[in-house]
Amino acid sequence: MKTVTKSMILCLGLLGATVSSCKKDLMKLNENPNGSNPATINPNLVLSTVLTQAGIEIVTLGYQDMAGVMQHTQKDGWTSTHNEYDWGGSNSWTNYYDILRNNQLVYNRAVILQNELQQGVSLVMKSMMFGLITDLWGDAPYSQALKGEEGGSSTTPVYDPQEAIYTGILADLEKANTLLSKPKSAYPAAIDAVDVYYQGDPAKWRKMANSLALRYYMRLSEKLPAIAKAGIEKIVASPTQYPIITDAADDATMSFPGNSNADSWPANVLYDTDSSNYRRLKMCNTLVTSLQALNDPRLGIWANKVQCFLLVDDTKPPGTGNNYKPVDTVVAGENRKVRYVSPDVLTSKGLTINDINQNVDYVGLPPGIAGPAVYNLSPDAAQGARNPHVSWLNDIYRQAKGPLLKARLISAAEVHFILAEASAVKGWAAGDAETHYKAAIQASFSVWGVSSSLNTYLAQPNVKFNHTQQQIIEQKWIASWTAATEAWADYKRTGYPVLHAGAYAKGPVVPVRLYYMLEERNLNKANIATAMDHLEVTTYSSFGANGAKNSPWSKPWIIRGTGKPW
């Protein structure tokens, strides 16, 4: 997307060249024939890349390592980053800033062309991507970011304080709300063909902008409660001026064409011919047991039942001496097997009955354990094991595309949970808390195709609304399946759900941020040093690869001094 504006032709040494011809060559533009000129490009051509790449990055993060941090899933091969927070001392935000650079080009061209629809959409995407960056790292380049082509000090931008980034995000979303307030017919340049989220509907983008504002106001609720209260109450009080996402049909989602690995659901088996990435990803016991306790029908949508369940049996068949029932006996009426395990077998392995999970339906991997490939007496200890005694992800996640395989940037469920918390926990004027709580669960059930179970689910004593932050956030954590990055932000702010790091994790508690990347530490030392000084060193900051000042267990401003999540 760049043009080269300085000729690299050397005139000195060229025999017979005149000074005038040399000067002419030096002034000539060297255009990239395979690129596009930022001064003339149609912003829609770049907007398509912004929207699709953002969707891919966000779902990959929320379905992969953030799902490990938030204990939706665990891996039984190549476990270190997913189960143990072993991020090698450096995490990269390069892909996010690449999206932001392209997005800035869209905005700049849209301003020149007076295309307010593209301006509004690009401000929404700018807010989401910078929000993601500061949520993950803390202080980050913001006000001086995206200006590297100017050279000089622009190549070493300052790290804006996290508070300033959130404030800037909210200002951009307010501006986007105004830009997107016209009927579709009033915008001269349509984006229908490139808009993978809303097919060019400005009313839905406007709802997304204000829903994101609710997200970031709630982010600020512990540190700047007065600002958060005023912002949320302003939006709720004026639904005409500030429409929000209240129905799952308006969720910001992106489907996958499934034509190649680049445009398919991550870790599918169609383009991963040995299926190893799918096979390594298993359900986490933390989520499985939570869903089982609630009789939650979403468990069967997200997970497969164990292929062969374990039952401890000390019954000796007559006439067989010390021999027990044979293993892997087919269970009548089921296309699955049961393995009867002798207590003597457990003793010989140094195990007790409490060391195995005998649930006949769903079994998750405990977080951060040693040897997850052989958990629950797996007969296969290979990397990415084919363990029949734990729950694999549902077969839908083997596919490259499908009706449930979507990147989800923000949803009606999230919005209703935010408003339920604002009302029930904060005491703010955000509507009836119980109504929002039920609407949030209803929206999630609708997304996953289990709406017929809603009333039965809501009637359970342990699901009935109890007005506590813990219940709201735990339900929100469940609803964030495949979008666990948002659940991590809530966990850091509230301490819910209560999570325990596994014994083999790099730290004894769940981390709260990512490492600043190595290249930044080498090339932008002064500014990154200031950013690291803003982190709160904690009891656990000594864990990790780069010392206390860049530790995943050091707290950024948004939770500094709050005592949360631990």
- Of 76-90, 119-133, 263-277, where does the model show the most confidence? 119-133
Alpha-carbon Rg for the chain in angstroms: 27
User: Which pLDDT value is given to residue 27?
Assistant: 37
Confidence label for 154 from pLDDT (cuts 50, 70 and 90) = confident
Select from 91, 92, 87, 98 the least CA-distant residue to 54: 98
Rounded-to-integer distance, Cα 487 and Cα 461, Å: 24
Is the backbone peptide bond immediately before 565 cis, with ω within 30 degrees of 0?
A: yes
Select from 247, 254, 288, 214 the least CA-distant residue to 59: 254
User: Which pLDDT value is given to residue 339?
Assistant: 84
Per-residue pLDDT averaged across 237-252, rounded? 98
- Give bridge partners of residue 365 from the DSSP assignment: 284
Is the confidence at residue 396, as pLDDT, over 80? Answer: yes
Per-residue pLDDT averaged across 434-456, rounded? 98
User: Which pLDDT value is given to residue 42?
Assistant: 92
Helices (H) and strands (E) in the chain, counts: 20, 9
Per-residue pLDDT averaged across 204-217, rounded? 98
Select from 486, 444, 151 the least CA-distant residue to 298: 444
Burial class (CB in 10 A: 0-12, 13-18, 19+), 108: middle
Structure token pair of residue 151: 């050279």
Is the confidence at residue 323, as pLDDT, over 70? Answer: no
The answer for residues whose C-beta is within 8 angstroms of residue 520's C-beta and 6 or more apart is 528
Structure token pair of residue 377: 């007496």
- Whole-model pTM: value is 0.91
Confidence label for 82 from pLDDT (cuts 50, 70 and 90) = very high
Structure token pair of residue 309: 């369940």
Rounded-to-integer distance, Cα 433 and Cα 448, Å: 23
Q: Which amino acid is at 332?
A: A
User: Which pLDDT value is given to residue 39?
Assistant: 78
Q: Are 209 and 409 in contact (CB under 8 A)?
A: no
pLDDT digits (tens, 9 = 90+) for 284-311: 999 999 999 999 999 999 999 999 899 8
Select from 463, 504, 510 the least CA-distant residue to 489: 510
Structure token pair of residue 243: 């429409």
Q: Are 145 and 157 in contact (CB under 8 A)?
A: yes
User: Which pLDDT value is given to residue 148?
Assistant: 78
Q: Which of 29-38, 219-228, 335-344 has the lowest mean pLDDT?
A: 29-38
Structure token pair of residue 316: 């000796």
**CA dist 178 → 24, 107, 302, 424 (Å):** 48, 15, 39, 30
Structure token pair of residue 140: 């980050």
Confidence label for 95 from pLDDT (cuts 50, 70 and 90) = very high
Is the confidence at residue 162, as pLDDT, over 70? Answer: yes
Burial class (CB in 10 A: 0-12, 13-18, 19+), 28: exposed
Helix or strand or coil: residue 113? helix
Is the confidence at residue 25, as pLDDT, over 50? Answer: no
Is the confidence at residue 327, as pLDDT, over 60? Answer: no
Rounded-to-integer distance, Cα 230 and Cα 209, Å: 17
User: Which pLDDT value is given to residue 559?
Assistant: 98
Per-residue pLDDT averaged across 106-121, rounded? 97
Of 290 and 77, the structure prediction assigns the larger pLDDT to 290
Per-residue pLDDT averaged across 125-133, rounded? 98
Q: Which of 95-109, 316-330, 367-381, 390-404 has the lowest mean pLDDT?
A: 316-330
User: Which pLDDT value is given to residue 275?
Assistant: 87
Structure token pair of residue 88: 């090698």
Sign of the Cα torsion 216, 217, 219, 224 reads: positive
User: Which pLDDT value is given to residue 401?
Assistant: 98
Rounded-to-integer distance, Cα 278 and Cα 395, Å: 9
User: Which pLDDT value is given to residue 329?
Assistant: 57
Please tell me the chain's helix, strand, coil percentages from 3-state DSSP, rounded to the nearest 5: 45, 5, 50
Select from 458, 486, 56 the least CA-distant residue to 255: 56
The answer for residues whose C-beta is within 8 angstroms of residue 435's C-beta and 6 or more apart is none
Q: Which of 37-41, 102-106, 191-195 has the lowest mean pLDDT?
A: 37-41
Is the confidence at residue 334, as pLDDT, over 70? Answer: no
The rounded mean pLDDT for the chain is: 90
The single residue listed with the structure tokens 């299926």 is 275
pLDDT digits (tens, 9 = 90+) for 407-435: 999 999 999 999 999 999 999 999 999 99
Q: Are 566 and 496 in contact (CB under 8 A)?
A: no
User: Which pLDDT value is given to residue 150?
Assistant: 78
Q: Parallel, antiparallel, or unpaired: how do β-strands 337-341 and 308-312 relate? A: parallel
Provide, rounded to the nearest whole percent, the portion of the chain with pLDDT above 90.
Answer: 79
Q: Which of 27-36, 251-260, 337-346 has the lowest mean pLDDT?
A: 27-36
- Give bridge partners of residue 141 from the DSSP assignment: 159
Q: Are 206 and 200 in contact (CB under 8 A)?
A: no
Provide, rounded to the nearest whole percent, the portion of the chain with pLDDT above 70.
Answer: 89
Per-residue pLDDT averaged across 188-200, rounded? 96
Is the confidence at residue 335, as pLDDT, over 80? Answer: no
Is the confidence at residue 316, as pLDDT, over 80? Answer: no
User: Which pLDDT value is given to residue 4?
Assistant: 33
Q: Are 481 and 456 in contact (CB under 8 A)?
A: no
User: Which pLDDT value is given to residue 348?
Assistant: 82
Helix or strand or coil: residue 25? helix
Confidence label for 161 from pLDDT (cuts 50, 70 and 90) = very high
If you write DSSP's letter for every residue of 267-292 in order, what string do you get? T-SSSSTT-HHHHHEEEBHHHHHHHH
Is the confidence at residue 20, as pLDDT, over 50? Answer: no
Q: Are 60 and 69 in contact (CB under 8 A)?
A: no
Rounded-to-integer distance, Cα 141 and Cα 160, Å: 6
Three-point CA angle 194, 176, 125, nearest 5°: 50
Q: Which of 305-319, 391-405, 444-458, 469-483 has the lowest mean pLDDT?
A: 305-319
